[in-house]
């Protein structure tokens, strides 16, 4: 890729560049002054709050090199030795310290105990300071790991600080966006500074920056054009907003993309694309588990930009994409049942009957649920209303 995104360009280099995390920085500094043997630091907290950045700052400030391990390295003991050994040897040559970073341990799956065990023993034996980052360090699977780490929590950054940072970036980029729009972006980001900076960059390149805060449902494109944009061209920032204009739930888009990856990609590209899909899954699980909707950003980013970046070169020619039939049917069916359940629940609450009974009597209830004034009274959502108008069950 050519030019770095603003989020990358303005990534903190020194402790003083880290904003809105006073307590965490203090705690980290004092830990670094007297590190306790056999313990690592775990920087944990929501996305875009400075975890990875802090790890790099630590290395930079102590004039050390950063040495990054990922979840898959940990799974493979042999490979791990292969990577770590040269790292140990290098030290004598350059005489430079090292900081070992295991970024985003959330990616290690629960089933794959080996990786986590390996990480724990690595922490216990490492002569280099180790930093781990995680979104959810309180996940059950980390109960053993938690005993070998010093917890440093990063918080969501408050919107005023986010707004300040955005204003500084705009000044450096010699761009201007109205204060109200900045406030809106800052609030919308819910403490995720990366998301805010990304939105800011997109807004700054729009003819009318205030459009960033409106949901552009009117500019709908179909799923086939969306797939063409993802599979054929170079990855670009506009892709991050692509699904906003596709009138289809993200789950369904995922199935279409999954179905059609092999139609465009092969070999290494194929593997990379599937790797992106697995990342989508990771975030999807986090979203459901933590009810943290902000993660949707990552889900869509991996699905659009991520899949687009799996290719080596742009793709020419026409590809006829297939409809993901079987799984799509299963999924749609689940959706239908889910919708029916939420409607039944609202109804049951309203008329004080049990939910089960409401479901059982659904065909009858439906007859008057069709009336708009009833729908309004029950507070049915757009999707629920749509369900009632379409389905004949
Ligand atoms: N506390 C902060 N101070 C200054 N800039 C920040 C801070 N947090 C995030 N940023 C900005 O957001 C970008 C992304 O931050 P970073 O990669 O550190 O997030 P993270 O906490 O590691 O998120 P994730 O959980 O998604 O990995 C940085 O490059 C920087 O531009
Ligand atoms: Mg990170």
Q: Is residue 313 part of a domain?
A: no
Question: Measured from the CA of 53, which atom of ligand 1 is nearest?
Answer: 18
Residues 53 and 174 in one domain: no
Q: Is residue 218 part of a domain?
A: no
Q: Is residue 68 part of a domain?
A: yes
Please give all residues whose beta carbon lies within 6 A of any atom in ligand 1, as ranges.
Answer: 7-8, 10-12, 17-21, 47-53, 104, 133, 135, 157, 193-194, 197
Residues 174 and 79 in one domain: no
Rounded to whole angstroms, how far apart are CA atoms 30 and 22? 13
Q: How far is the CA of 192 from the centre of ligand 1 (A)?
A: 8
Q: What 8-state DSSP symbol labels residue 158?
A: P
Nearest CA to ligand 1 atom 30: 11
Pocket test for ligand 1, best of 194, 200, 292, 306 (most atoms within 8 A of CB): 194
What sign has the CA pseudo-torsion 177, 183, 188, 189? Answer: positive
Output the pLDDT for position 6: 92
Residues 53 and 114 in one domain: yes
Point out the domain boundary residue: 145, 178, 213.
Answer: 213
CATH number at residue 62: 3.40.50.300
Residues 145 and 23 in one domain: yes
Question: Measured from the CA of 135, which atom of ligand 1 is nearest?
Answer: 25
Q: Is residue 52 part of a domain?
A: yes
CATH number at residue 191: 1.10.8
Q: Is residue 1 part of a domain?
A: no
Q: How far is the CA of 46 from the centre of ligand 2 (A)?
A: 9
Point out the domain boundary residue: 173, 193, 213.
Answer: 213
Nearest CA to ligand 1 atom 28: 11
Residues 30 and 82 in one domain: yes
Helix 179-188 vs helix 193-204: crossing angle, to nearest 10: 140
| Alpha helices in the chain, H assignment, sequence order | 6-9, 22-33, 51-61, 71-75, 77-94, 113-125, 159-173, 179-188, 193-204, 223-232, 250-264, 267-290, 296-301, 307-308, 325-351, 355-360, 362-369, 372-378, 382-390
Domain residue limits at 283: 223-308
Point out the domain boundary residue: 252, 283, 308.
Answer: 308
Q: Is residue 318 part of a domain?
A: no
Task: Tally the domains of the chain.
Answer: 4
Q: What is the pLDDT along the chain (393 residues), one digit of tens a residue?
A: 456 789 999 999 999 999 999 999 999 998 888 777 778 999 999 999 999 999 999 999 999 889 888 777 777 777 777 777 666 565 555 567 888 999 988 877 766 677 888 889 888 888 888 999 999 999 889 999 999 999 999 999 999 999 999 999 999 999 999 998 999 888 878 889 998 998 898 889 888 888 776 443 333 567 888 898 899 888 888 888 888 878 777 888 998 999 999 999 999 999 999 999 998 888 888 777 776 677 778 888 999 999 999 998 888 878 888 888 767 777 777 777 888 889 999 999 888 888 888 888 888 888 888 888 899 999 998 888 888 887 554
Residues 347 and 269 in one domain: no
């Amino acid at each position: 890729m050519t030019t770095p995104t603003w989020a990358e360009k303005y990534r903190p280099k020194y402790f003083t560049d880290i904003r809105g995390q006073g307590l965490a920085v203090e705690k980290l500094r004092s830990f670094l002054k007297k590190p306790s043997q056999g313990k690592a630091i775990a920087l944990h907290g929501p996305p875009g709050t400075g975890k990875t950045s802090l790890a790099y700052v630590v290395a930079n400030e102590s004039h050390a090199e950063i040495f990054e391990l990922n979840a898959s390295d940990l799974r493979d003991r042999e490979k791990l030795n292969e990577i770590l050994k040269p790292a140990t040897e290098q030290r004598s040559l350059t005489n430079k310290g090292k900081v070992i970073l295991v970024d985003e341990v959330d990616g290690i799956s629960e089933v794959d105990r080996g990786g986590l065990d390996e990480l724990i023993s690595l922490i216990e034996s490492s002569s280099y300071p180790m930093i781990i980052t995680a979104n959810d360090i309180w996940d059950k699977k980390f109960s053993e790991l938690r005993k070998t780490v010093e917890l440093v929590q990063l918080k969501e950054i408050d919107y005023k600080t986010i707004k300040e940072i955005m204003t500084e970036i705009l000044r450096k980029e010699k761009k201007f966006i109205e204060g109200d729009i900045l406030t809106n972006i800052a609030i919308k980001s819910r403490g995720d500074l990366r998301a805010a900076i990304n939105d800011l960059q997109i807004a700054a390149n729009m003819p009318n920056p205030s459009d960033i805060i409106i949901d552009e449902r009117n500019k709908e494109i179909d799923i086939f054009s969306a797939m063409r944009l993802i599979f054929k061209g170079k990855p670009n920032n506009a892709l991050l907003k692509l699904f906003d204009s596709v009138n289809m739930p993200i789950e369904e888009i995922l199935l279409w993309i999954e179905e059609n990856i092999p139609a465009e990609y092969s070999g290494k590209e194929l593997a990379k694309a599937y790797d992106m899909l697995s990342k989508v899954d990771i975030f999807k699980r986090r979203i459901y588990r933590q009810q943290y909707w902000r993660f949707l950003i990552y889900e869509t980013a991996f699905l659009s930009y991520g899949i687009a970046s799996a290719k080596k070169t742009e793709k020419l020619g026409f590809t006829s994409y297939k409809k993901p039939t079987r799984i799509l049917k299963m999924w749609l069916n689940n959706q239908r049942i889910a919708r029916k359940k939420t409607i039944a629940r609202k109804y049951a609450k309203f008329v004080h009957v049990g939910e089960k009974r409401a479901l059982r009597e659904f065909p009858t209830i439906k007859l008057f649920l069709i009336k708009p004034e009833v729908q309004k009274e029950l507070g049915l959502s757009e999707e629920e209303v749509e369900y009632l108008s379409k389905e004949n069950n």
